[in-house]
Amino acid sequence: MLKRLAELRKSKKWSLQYIADRLGIAKSTYAGYESGYREPSLESIKKLADLLETSVDFLLERSDDPIFNPKEEKIKISHPLELTDVNSWVTTELTVDGKIMSLDELQQFIAFVRAKREIERKGI
């Protein structure tokens, strides 16, 4: 049951018919998705996420953030006391031995940590 489809649709004040038309499917078909009577194909759920401007993960309740930001990799360091800007690049610096790390270094650092954890997880 994809309750989030209904939530988003209603928040936008759209009708079943409207979404069905936009997707090119029958009204009853789309209604089935919301009620859980039917499941959309992968292609359809992608179109729905596009139309509703959210992520598939949100529609499937795998994420609770309705905002989908398909931007490229974003690195963010945030201070807890500061207001966090979702799209800002760096809001504070990370220093090692008193020297500020560059973006390049941060990217390498992330790669390093990921690789290290991967190795630890599955050996060698």
Interface with a copy of itself (CB under 8 A): 12-13, 39-42, 45-46, 49, 55-57, 60, 62-65, 68, 70-80, 92, 94, 96-97, 99, 101, 105-106, 108-110, 112-114, 116-117, 122
- Helix, strand, coil percentages (3-state) for the chain, rounded to 5, are 50, 5, 50
Contacts of 90 (CB under 8 A, 6+ apart): 75, 76, 77, 103
Say whether residue 27 binds DNA (CB under 7 A). yes
Contact partner, 116, from a copy of itself, DNA, none, Cβ < 5-8 Å per class: a copy of itself
Size of interface with DNA, in residues (CB under 7 A): 21
Contact partner, 51, from a copy of itself, DNA, none, Cβ < 5-8 Å per class: none
Pairwise CA distance, residues 59 & 40, whole Å:
11
Say whether residue 1 binds DNA (CB under 7 A). no
User: Do the beta carbons of residue 94 and residue 100 sit within 8 Å?
Assistant: yes
Say whether residue 102 binds DNA (CB under 7 A). no
Q: Which residue has the tokens 């194909």?
A: 41
User: Do the beta carbons of residue 26 and residue 20 sit within 8 Å?
Assistant: yes
Residues interacting with DNA, by CB under 7 A?
Answer: 10, 15-18, 24-29, 31-32, 34-35, 37-41, 44
